[in-house]
Chains A and B, each alone.
Chain A
Amino acid sequence: MLSVFLSAGLWRLVFPAAPAPGVLWSRDRSRAMDCVRVGAEEGNRSYPGQIAPTPPRGRMGTTDTVVCTERMLRRDLRSPQDEAVLTDLQATVSALASAARSQRPDLVGRTWLVEAHDPSTQVSAKLRFATQNALADNGLAVSDRTPVLAVGDVDVLTRLPPDQAYAVACERYGANGSVADDQVLMAIIRRDPRETSLHGGLCVDGQWTWLR
């Protein structure tokens, strides 16, 4: 019975390899880790001496390496949606900034303004800050100025469906001079409070386009 238990690998159900939760590793402890799966070559580059490279003649079977690091903040200190957005913040805004630069090379000479829309005011400020830095890291001229709309515009915009509201807002920014001809407005948006991905859009000369 014991030999069947061991040979069939059933003991892995009771004592799974960390960080999978099991008898010796609680669920809370597993959830407190930030884990990524890495290949042997990448692992050897990032953790020399700890992760062995693939031998020149290859290796029998498939070897997986999961690198786990303790999370900076414990779970439950913020909402799961905020946690998901903030965990990948740097990667997300860097990707958006690179996408903006590569998709619109004609806008490189302009000054970039940034605004962020998120159900949480705190997270909005974080998104704006991170995007400004990411754009500056891409060699773009960035301004800290916030474009403004008249009260009447805001009143109308809040009653429009989101897809239409961004386009109309962009048009109004262009019309009232908040976003001048030599400027670009980049907006980072979480369109639904339940979603965990961010969208980006550009407002250029009163025309709104989605980056992704």
Chain B
Amino acid sequence: MTWLTWRQFRAQTAVTAAALAVLAIVLLITGLQLSHTFDTTVIGCRARGDCTGVINALQRQDTALQDLTRLLMYVVPAVIGLFWGAPLLARELETGTYRLAWTQGVTRSRWFAVKLVLIGLATVATAGLLSLMVTWWWSPLERVATDRITPGEFSQSGIVIIGYAAFAFALGVTAGLLVRRTLPAMAITLAIFVGVQLAMPFLIRPHLITPVRTVSALKVANVKSVSIVGGGGGGTLSVGAAPNIPGSSGAWIYSEQVTTASGSTDLGPAPAQCGPNSGYNACQAAIARMHLRVVATYQPASRYWALQWYETAIYLAAALVLAGLCWWWVRRRVT
């Protein structure tokens, strides 16, 4: 059964291995260059005082590869789900070869279990290797822009891609089992996977760890914008401020609100100094006298790995549940 799985999967293995090899070579060469640039220019930039310049230069190096690796991290799990997962059962059911496969000397459940496990392992290995290469390549860039916990960056690094890939694979297998036709199964897998990926950062990830909530006094220096909502003679004041978060930046900010000293988000009427004819400094001074506060809810950057593990675990658990469901179904029903 191992031989058969390998033989039927031979082409995919070859293509994947070749692609990974090519990628590895390209990333190795360019990654070493990136590291070198970092080591020679960024380290010690503070002493020289040219940090902004060298950081910009570093971030402009190999932008094509930056885009490519980000794209791969998004796309590879979906591709695995579509091309390794969906056809696994759907192809056999669609072409009728299950009538040959399931009348040999191995039971259906064994046939399915071996395929599922072996290709599942290949999925995990591929995702793991990709993640390793990409994370290593990005490390110099990560050190200059440490916002990897934010939603835009979170899924591009670390180990979550392994969870994504395993889940997409299991999803593909399930879709193939239920729909019994390869192309519709691929379409459904894609649709559901994209839906889950879009929903995750908004619906689930924010609740994995209770975020930190800070209340701090509004410093005039942190005021980003002042506006008056509602026209006419007096409108309500609206102030936008950058939160003052202890430690490094790069935290994932859920929300930040400016409130009055008593905690109300209604800041009341705008002070006279902030009318259309007044100067900015007078307005600022008036706002400072209002003793406003900033309430921020966020995940600090230090929680990056904790979130990574939790999220990966959730996706892996979902993958296992789907796989178990499929195995049970193949054993008991199917046709």
Are A and B a genuine interacting pair, yes or no? no
